[in-house]
Structure 1
Amino acid sequence: MCQCHASPGPRQPINCIVPPYMLEVLAMRGDAKTAKAARAQLELNEKARRERQDRQSLRMTPQSTLPTFDFVTPALSQATMQRNLDRAVHDGEQKAALPGKLVRKEGDPPTGDVDVDRVYDGAGHVYDLYFTHFQRDSLDGLGMKLVQTVHHRKNYSNAFWNGEQMAYGDGDGEIFSTFTELSVIGHELSHGVVQFSGGLVYQGQSGALNESFADVFGIMAKQHALGESVDDSDWLVGKGILGPEINGVALRSMRAPGTAYADAVLGQDPQPYHMDFYMDTTSDNGGVHINSGIPNHAFYLYCQYLGGNAWAKPGQIWYHALQRLNNPLASFHDWAGQTVSSAMELHGIGSLEVNLLRRAWKLVGIQV
């Protein structure tokens, strides 16, 4: 994860949407103002990393403490489930303290502040996706309140989940325009789902899987809210958050990893789409935001094979796999194998769903 500077809870990592490699490029290529801001954020990131090391290991929720979920039709599950959507949006007033001033709570009318109302609605869309199609009551499965803060710090160019709540900066208006886009909201809140599903250690391939799951469900939240099929979707994570002068369309593309941006200041999107181009690096916690392009692309390919809606068969398999994984240090091969096992459990050995899933993983260089 990008180590943001906000103070997390004990032993809890902070997951940011803007990866550190983008900040490193900005520090080298940006104008004086941009480079200074990027260096300052990188220094704060490093401080947060050291503090996390001092706390030693990451805290992850034991799988045995979580509620169990029956993978049956939504109508049958919802008949016995109670909807516990509870949102609270705060105004950070461009200060560092969290959560800030409460400005809209569950059931309140719109405030007129675009960012406040956007994240309020966005959290509702994410909750609806998990509740309706995955029978999950909020991030922890137990009705956890969805706390969010907008206008975090002055010109802050990032958004993050700190283990307890979401926070969104306003961007600098040049490199980044906004962070309250729905796939970003879905991405960051889905880090909470990973956290409360046993966790994936945020380093190397397991960290890239953590990022990939968040991307998968972030784009799925946007598709669900817009009523998009897998063919209708642009498959762009963070579309519209780049500034007007930046040559790019988003932070990441699941359809074509490595093509989201190519800019004189930001550089070239480094994500690979195949294991042949896997980046072995010590940067970015072992390339968690970079190499996540590989499992992202596998999910995209699988959705193209099956058609329809991503939250149907593909999403059910991915969610089922996360609940069954029980391996916080999982490799890409481990995860691919678990998705195939989940497909077998849900659709049967030798089913079309299983065979097409094996093919999707093979196309990104992972043989299962």
Structure 2
Amino acid sequence: MTRHGPSHRILPPGLLYRLARTGDAEVRRAALDTLALDGRLRLARAEAAGRRGGRAAQPVTHARVGGRPNRVIYDQQHAETQTPGVVVRAEGQPAPADPAANQAYDGLGATYDFWWSVFGRDSIDGQGMMLQGLIHFGEAYDNAFYDGAGHMVFGDGDGRLLTQTTAGVDVIGHELTHGITQHEANLVYSGQSGALNESISDVFGVQVKQRLLGQDTAASDWLIGADIVGPELAPALRSMRAPGTANRHDDQPATMDGYVAGGDVHTNSGIPNHAFYVAATTLGGHAWDAAGPIWYAALTDASLSPNATFTAFAALTVRHAVQRHGATSAEAEAVRAGWEAVKVAAA
């Protein structure tokens, strides 16, 4: 069933507020400008939902043979509207001169290919939904997001916080995974369920990058956003290998000992992120061979509650590891080890 939830931004408001308080004049201005635009977008979205009576229009889908994406890239020409702008590349058309258009087109394609090839999933909704990329959104906008209604929106960055956001295939994978989570589990975007929502996007976003680069778990850097950060946030937005070390503003805990009650969902997502990292690297090989399918099975399990806790999600991953591979299998032991490493009970 299609559900339309909040849009999720790759650069969280908590980090932007910290930068607005502690950065130099240029960083403060960039953070405040992005916060202001994000606030206007949230208000516009709420007003639009109110006019619809709280219900979003359902996309029309048609029966088709899957396996091929349907992409359209629009140039917003620095406007701040989510109404699609000028078409600069549609599915099958040659590459234009604009690198951002081609990065968005290729990143959407790599994400589609990952979900189709690994899981047989035909786009975000499983029914061939069009993938629409809106590039050059706003003026030096320091964010990128999936808006919950079929649009992946890309800012150009200000050069200090973020650079061209279309360059991050893991970011594209992350954001489109929010759409999949919206369709499958509708995880509430607060508390532990919100942190799981963010973590699931990182888990599959990093796999999109790994698969595109042909990397196994040992070769991967396990970083999110390394290709889109400016010097203020270098070398990355988040590290799944070592939460809390991605940049000098990174406040993610790696275990429940550091869990922040009432904290930002992007902060606490470091805990389930690290659990997946431990499980995947313990197994070795490609993350999408065993660990990824176990996480996907948990995400699509009908018993997963919208208010799921870390413990509830951990238990589902163990259950699916056991069902697929056996109670004493290397896969089941690796999943248990992942949750034990972050001090989350999985029983």
- TM-score for the superposition, normalised by structure 1: 0.85
SS, match of residue 196 in structure 1: helix
Q: How does 1:109-124 map to 2 (within 5 A)?
A: 109-124=94-109
1:335/1:53 CA distance change after superposition, 3 Å: farther
Q: Return the alpha-carbon distance in structure 1 between the equivalents of residues 93 and 114 of structure 2.
A: 21
Q: How does 1:157-306 map to 2 (within 5 A)?
A: 157-163=142-148, 164-180=150-166, 181-243=168-230, 245-246=231-232, 248-262=234-248, 268-281=249-262, 286-306=263-283
Q: Deviations over 1:97-121 (max 9, x none)?
A: 2321111000011112111101101
Residue 304 of structure 2 aligns with which residue? 326
**Is structure 2 residue 298 aligned with structure 1 residue 314?**
no
In structure 2, what residue type is equivalent to 1:300?
Answer: Y
Q: Return the alpha-carbon distance in structure 1 between the equivalents of residues 324 and 67 of structure 2.
A: 25
Q: Return the alpha-carbon distance in structure 1 between the equivalents of residues 100 and 159 of structure 2.
A: 14
1:153/1:329 CA distance change after superposition, 3 Å: same
Residue 88 of structure 1 aligns with which residue? 72
Residue 61 of structure 2 aligns with which residue? none
Pick aligned residue for 1:29 from 9, 22, 25: 22
In structure 2, what residue type is equivalent to 1:312?
Answer: D
Q: Return the alpha-carbon distance in structure 2 between the equivalents of residues 335 and 49 of structure 1.
A: 29
Q: Deviations over 1:207-230 (max 9, x none)?
A: 110100100110000000011000
Counting matched residue pairs gives: 334
In structure 1, what residue type is equivalent to 2:306?
Answer: P
Structure 1: stretches of 5+ with no match in the other structure:
1-8, 62-79, 263-267
**Is structure 2 residue 320 aligned with structure 1 residue 342?**
yes
SS, match of residue 133 in structure 2: strand
Offset, 1:246 = 3.0
Q: How does 1:31-110 map to 2 (within 5 A)?
A: 31-46=24-39, 82-98=66-82, 99-110=84-95
Offset, 1:49 = 5.3
- TM-score for the superposition, normalised by structure 2: 0.90
Q: Return the alpha-carbon distance in structure 2 between the equivalents of residues 59 and 175 of structure 1.
A: 35
Q: Deviations over 1:249-308 (max 9, x none)?
A: 10000000000011xxxxx31001000000123xxxx42100000000000000111000
Residue 154 of structure 1 aligns with which residue? 139
Identity %: 44
Contact persistence 1:60–1:199 (CA under 8 A):
no
Contact persistence 2:114–2:208 (CA under 8 A):
yes
Offset, 1:247 = 6.2
1:48/1:117 CA distance change after superposition, 3 Å: closer
Offset, 1:95 = 0.6
Q: Which moved more, 1:245-254 or 1:12-21?
A: 245-254
Contact persistence 1:60–1:198 (CA under 8 A):
no
Q: Which moved more, 1:320-329 or 1:309-318?
A: 320-329
Offset, 1:47 = 5.3
SS, match of residue 93 in structure 1: coil
Contact persistence 1:129–1:221 (CA under 8 A):
yes
In structure 1, what residue type is equivalent to 2:158?
Answer: D
1:236/1:152 CA distance change after superposition, 3 Å: same
Structure 2: stretches of 5+ with no match in the other structure:
58-63
Contact persistence 2:226–2:234 (CA under 8 A):
no
Q: Return the alpha-carbon distance in structure 1 between the equivalents of residues 116 and 254 of structure 2.
A: 31
Q: Return the alpha-carbon distance in structure 2 between the equivalents of residues 287 and 272 of structure 1.
A: 12
Q: Deviations over 1:168-189 (max 9, x none)?
A: 0000122222211111111001
Q: How does 1:116-135 map to 2 (within 5 A)?
A: 116-135=101-120
